[in-house]
Amino acid sequence: MVLPQQMETIVLEPGRAEKNYWRDLWRYRELFQVLAWRDCAVRYKQTVLGVAWAVIRPVLAMAIFTVIFGRLAKLPSGGAPYALMVFTGMLPWTFFSTALSDASNSLISNTNLVSKVYFPRLIVPTATIAAAFVDFFIGLLILTGMMIWYRFLPSWQVLLLPVFIFLAFVASVGPGLWITAVNVKYRDFRYVIPFLVQFGLYVSPVGFSSSVVPQRWRLLYSLNPMVGIIDGFRWCILRGQIYWPAFGLSTVVVGGFLWVGVRQFRKLEKTFADLI
Amino acid sequence: MSQEIAIQMQSNEVVITAESLSKSYLIGHEIGNHRGQESFREAVGRHARTFVRAAVNVAHGRQIIRGEEVEEFWALNDVSFEVKRGEVLGVIGRNGAGKSTLLKILSRITEPTKGRATIKGRVASLLEVGTGFHQDLTGRENIYLNGAILGMSKAEIKAKFDEIVDFAEVEKFLDTPVKHYSSGMYVRLAFAVAAHLEPEILIIDEVLAVGDVVFQKKCLGKMQSVASSGRTVLFVSHNMQTVAGLTERTLLLKAGRVVAVGRSTEIIDQYLGDLAPGDAVYKKAASGGGPEITRVELHTSNPGHLQQFGKSMTVDVEIQTPEPVPNAAISFQITTGSHQPVLHVLNLDSEVPMLRSGGTHVLSCRFPKLRLYPGFYQLDFAFGASHPRRVFEGPHQICPFEVAVLDEIREFYWYPNNALYVEEVEWTSQCLDPRAEGRHSVVPAST
């Protein structure tokens, strides 16, 4: 048997868990991969339509929005076909809402892990959020198909898309962690999240372009972090206009949420095993 | 690895130090009985107070506790001990003694409220077999998943994959989702993954509670080899035979405190001795479903569940049955504290007729001279019918008692754990080359 050169020493004391946290997070990166892979693998198991659900849901929602906002309300689309504009907004929004609702339940549905094995708990909700990319990339494929159908060619800005995808991920992690943590303690949040997601769909510029919002309200409107991200997606893909001050504000709000989310999560994390 | 090296590896280096580890939980109580005499106004007031307190708790970010009175409960209280490298330490105690809390703290699942523990080396804990198995994934996928959860790297799992599959005996079903596995296969696979962990310190809780006898033996063998390979193991179990077989030293917990630490056999005897009072009569309310053993009473020769060696002992069994049980059969085993059967006693309806009508029956079994070796014992019941074959549930590990030799002192004889049973024997002695004093006659001797 080979004994390791140097034996690490762990001290367990009240309030001590902080010390090795970020190092442990790095050490358990493989667990992150495996859990994300698991969440992807079981996502559509034992469903009749399988992955088709990842296509049906956004396409139906897009059709409804296009008819209501584009045809009936006749809102402007800023040059691009209305359906394309809706779908481009739908992509980050669907990712955000799926990530948020999946993450909020992630710890509770992994109770046996949390109460039986040690690992940095941050891994569970973030892996779940990463798994939400499955639907996202399927959506991206649909979007590509739609662009070919509409013969719509994106410009160089599309190369910046990864930046905005990353931003969408970060925007989901912040509130996701926060809600996950409080959901362990107060299960009331299980009922709050579906409502929040529903509500968010209408206050975010998914079915319409944020240019319909009066100029003097734009900054206030951008306090919703999804405004900046959706605008960013449209700017990348549809050569749309972007109101940079608003985008900057959204990004700051995203950062703020991330900070609060991680802090709250870390604060409550110690008690998870006792509460769950 | 040979025994010799294993012994060398148990050094004096202390790898786990616990210093007054304590863990408290808050629990809520309802005051009194609210049903009946409480007016509507009082009930509203009570609920309003509870709600306000919950709101205050939420505002302070505290946990909500149901009930009107909150009490601090110490699941673990001032626990200190040391474990040396290569040592296998058993942890025993009744339910709620704090065993699981202790392991949870040491495996970093929860933080202690007070005190500290210092651990040298990588720790892997096995608090439940199959932690994190996903029903919809295949056996192969679950090996990787479970391995990662237990702290193995992908490379490590890959290297041991064949060994794990081999140990679990599931080659054929490797690509079947585990939800289609039999419970035996499931447990085998889960244990196999865990058994191939190679941490410096392994924490195990009740893993052997499942699986068939053959596999349990295999697990035990694996654990023995783990234990003798110089790894430090903390082992919690209710199965005293396993604890006695695997560990040298044992820690006994009671109500969150350390009662004793020492040689496993002694500590186990002490634990079983503690268990005895109050439990000598087994009682169970009849559920009315079918024939049931509702009461077992042990009449020992002396008070305090003490049975004098060689004296008579009686076991009374009360059975309630709604209807006659044709060809009834009842048997019980007397087992040692570590659950090793010593005696098996059986009665069939064809021998002494029983349960031939519905109602409450009392069967009595008398041992005219109980010749069990001094030590701690208990009873395991089995109960059914021979044809048509039926099996009803019988209580296990009940009516603990101690056998002691009270009036006979013999040098070199009554050592604890020397034997399980003393048979009546007849000795003879003879001298084959008689000298001057003359021939001995045959002299019978008794025990």
CATH of the domain at B210: 3.40.50.300
Q: Is A151 on the interface with B (CB under 8 A)?
A: no
Residues of B in contact with A274 (CB under 8 A): 25, 110
Interface A-B, measured as beta-carbon pairs within 8 A, has a size of 116
Question: What is the Cα–Cα distance from B427 to B4, expressed in whole angstroms?
Answer: 41
Given B111, B118, B149, which is nearest A117 (Cβ)? Answer: B149
Look up tokens 């009107």; give the residue: B68
Please state the three-class secondary structure of chain B as a single string: CCHHHHHHHCCCCEEEEEEEEEEEEEEEECCCCCCCCCCHHHHHHHHHHHHHHHHHHHHCCCCCCCCCEEEEEEEEEEEEEEEECCCEEEEECCCCCCHHHHHHHHCCCCCCCEEEEEEECCEEEECCCCCCCCCCCEHHHHHHHHHHHCCCCHHHHHHHHHHHHHHHCCHHHCCCEHHHCCHHHHHHHHHHHHHCCCCCEEEEECHHHCCCHHHHHHHHHHHHHHHHCCCEEEEECCCHHHHHHHCCEEEEEECCEEEEEEEHHHHHHHHHHHHCCCCCEEECCCCCCCCEEEEEEEECCECCCEEECCCCEEEEEEEEECCCCCCEEEEEEEEECCCCEEEEEEEECCCCCCCCCCEEEEEEEEECCCCECCEEEEEEEEEEECCCCEEECCCCCEEEEEEECCCCCCCCCCCCCCCCECCCCCECCCCCCCCCCCCCCCCCECC
The three-state secondary structure class of A253 is: helix
In a domain, A150, yes or no: yes
pLDDT of res. B203: 85
User: What is residue A252's predicted lDDT score, i.e. its pLDDT?
Assistant: 93
Looking at the structure, do residues B244 and B311 belong to the same domain, yes or no?
no
User: How are beta strands B306-308 and B341-348 bridged, if at all?
Assistant: unpaired
Q: How far apart are CA B397 and CA B383, in angstroms?
A: 15
Strand order of the sheet with strand B313-321?
Answer: B281-283, B292-299, B313-321, B359-367
Residue-averaged pLDDT of chain A: 85
Residue numbers in A near B125 (CB within 8 A) = 116-118
Residues of A whose CB is below 8 A from B61: 267-268
Residues of chain B scoring pLDDT < 70: 1-11, 28-40, 59-69, 206-213, 216, 239, 241, 273-280, 304, 406-417, 436-447
Domain count for chain A, please give it.
1
Residues of A in contact with B138 (CB under 8 A): none
Are the beta carbons of A10 and B25 separated by less than 8 Å? no
Is residue A218 within 8 A of residue A243, CB to CB? The reply is yes
Nearest to B242 by CA among B206, B191, B199: B206
Tell me, what's the pLDDT at B38? 61
Cross-chain CB nearest to A13 (options B112, B125, B144) = B112
Classify residue B194: in a domain, yes or no.
yes
Q: Any bridge partners for residue B79, and if so which?
A: B21
Residue A117 lies in a domain: yes
- CA–CA gap between residue A165 and residue A150 (Å, rounded): 23
- Summarised one tens digit per residue, pLDDT across range A111-127 is 888 888 888 889 999 99
Residue B134 to residues A109, B155, B275, Cα–Cα distance (Å): 11, 21, 39
Looking at per-residue pLDDT, the higher value among A65 and B415 belongs to: A65
Please report whether residue B81 resides in a domain.
yes
How many domains are there within chain B?
A: 3
Please indicate, yes or no, if residue B188 is contained in any of the structural domains. yes
CB contact under 8 A, B144 and A267: no
Nearest CA in chain A to B231: A1
Predicted confidence (pLDDT) at residue A254 exceeds the cutoff of 90:
yes
CATH assignment of the domain containing B312: 2.70.50.60
Residue A248 has pLDDT above 60, yes or no: yes
Domain contains A6? no
Return d(Cα A99, Cα B392) in angstroms, integer.
51
Q: Are B267 and B119 part of one and the same domain?
A: yes
Positive or negative torsion for Cα B102, B108, B113, B116: positive
Distance from C-alpha of B226 to C-alpha of B122, rounded to nearest angstrom: 15
Residues in chain B: 447
CB A207 within 8 A of CB A167: no
Whether residue A140 lies within 8 A of chain B, CB to CB, comes out as: no
- Assess if residue A136 is contained within a domain: yes
- B159 lies in some domain: yes
Same domain, B146 and B198: yes
Q: Cβ-count burial of A4 within 10 angstroms (0-12 exposed, 13-18 middle, 19+ buried)? A: exposed
More confident residue, B300 or A20: B300
Whether A2 contacts chain B with CB within 8 A: no
Q: Checking DSSP bridges between strand B201-205 and strand B232-236, what pairing results, if any?
A: parallel
Same domain, B263 and B231: yes
Provide the whole-model pTM: 0.68
Lowest mean pLDDT segment, chosen from A33-37, A247-251, B412-416: B412-416
Q: Indicate whether B54 and B142 sit together in one domain.
A: no
Residue with the bigger pLDDT between A79 and A35: it is: A35
Q: Does A38 touch chain B (CB under 8 A)?
A: yes
Q: Which amino acid is at B340?
A: Q
Q: A9 in contact with B at a CB cutoff of 8 Å?
A: yes
Weakest mean pLDDT among A120-124, A136-140, A211-215, A247-251: A211-215
Answer whether residue A179 shows pLDDT above 80.
yes
Same structural domain, B103 and B218:
yes
Asked if A274 reaches chain B (Cβ–Cβ under 8 Å), the answer is yes
User: Which pLDDT belongs to residue B1?
Assistant: 40
Q: Do residue B241 and residue B309 come from a single domain?
A: no
Q: What is the dihedral of CA B277, B278, B284, B285, to 10 degrees?
A: 180
Pairing of strands B201-205, B123-126: parallel
Q: Tell me whether residue B196 is in a domain.
A: yes
Write the Ramachandran bin of A200: left for phi over 0, alpha for psi from -120 to 50, otherwise beta: alpha
Residue B109 lies in a domain: yes
Q: Are residues B333 and B269 in the same domain?
A: no
Contacts A45 to B, Cβ<8 Å: 136
Task: Please answer yes or no on whether B109 and A273 come within 8 Å at the CB atom.
Answer: yes
**Looking at B67, B91, B121, which one is the last position of a domain?**
B67
Q: Would you say residue A11 lies in a domain?
A: no
Residues B100, B205, single domain; the answer is: yes
Among B15, B44, B67, give the residue marking a domain's end: B67
Domain, as residue range, for B60: 32-67
CB contact under 8 A, B120 and A9: yes
- Rounded to a whole number of angstroms, the distance from the CA of A146 to the nearest CA of chain B is 34
- Say if residues B383 and B329 touch (Cβ distance below 8 Å): yes
State residue B37's pLDDT score: 55
